[in-house]
Amino acid sequence: MNIAELCLRGTLCCGLLVTPLLASTALAQMPRVELSAGMYRIEAEVAANDASRAQGLMSRRTLPAGQGMLFVFRQADRHCMWMRNTYVPLSVAFLDRDGFILNIEDMQPETDTSHCAARAASFALEMNLGWFSDKGIKPGTRIAGVEKSPAPR
């Protein structure tokens, strides 16, 4: 019996159809927040729970311009990021509780190199590689809007 026949009988089709739907639903349900760095607008997905922080931007092949991911941590700490199973080169800005950039690190795809906050960070914002430097955004710049992000869980 082939897959089409099994789908007609309802035995296999459900699993094949539900898995991609659940994955896309999970991404679609990820909260978003509008941030800004000076005159630059950022539309960020928010990773505020353990599962979304662990997943991050893994398995993505592209990240649209002006979009990123904001990681909201449970407590301020010297958090670190790596790029395992992440295919898009990224820059990460570690932010304090008020949204001020502590440091910015460039990260290469599919590496396990740790990139860490210089001091205790409450947030990390990932953008396409070079986004911050292309805009002249440096440590000390405030990312406005982090206060509107969901509370960490």
Residues 47 and 100 in one domain: yes
Whether the CB-CB separation of 40 and 137 falls below 8 Å is answered with yes
| H or E stretch covering 47 | strand 40-47
Strand locations in 55-153 (E): 67-77, 80-81, 90-95, 101-107, 115-116, 121-128, 143-144
Give the mean model confidence (pLDDT) for residues 41-50.
97
In angstroms, the CA 125 to CA 99 distance is: 10
Note the pLDDT tens digit of each residue in 79-109. Answer: 999 999 999 999 999 999 999 999 999 999 9
Q: The pTM is what?
A: 0.82
In the chain, the number of structural domains is: 2
CATH code for the domain in which residue 37 is found: 2.60.120.1140
Helices of type H across the chain: 3-9, 13-28, 50-55, 131-134
Q: Within this chain, do residues 36 and 89 fall inside the same structural domain, yes or no?
A: yes
Residue range(s) defining the domain that contains residue 88: 31-148
pLDDT at 28 over 90: no
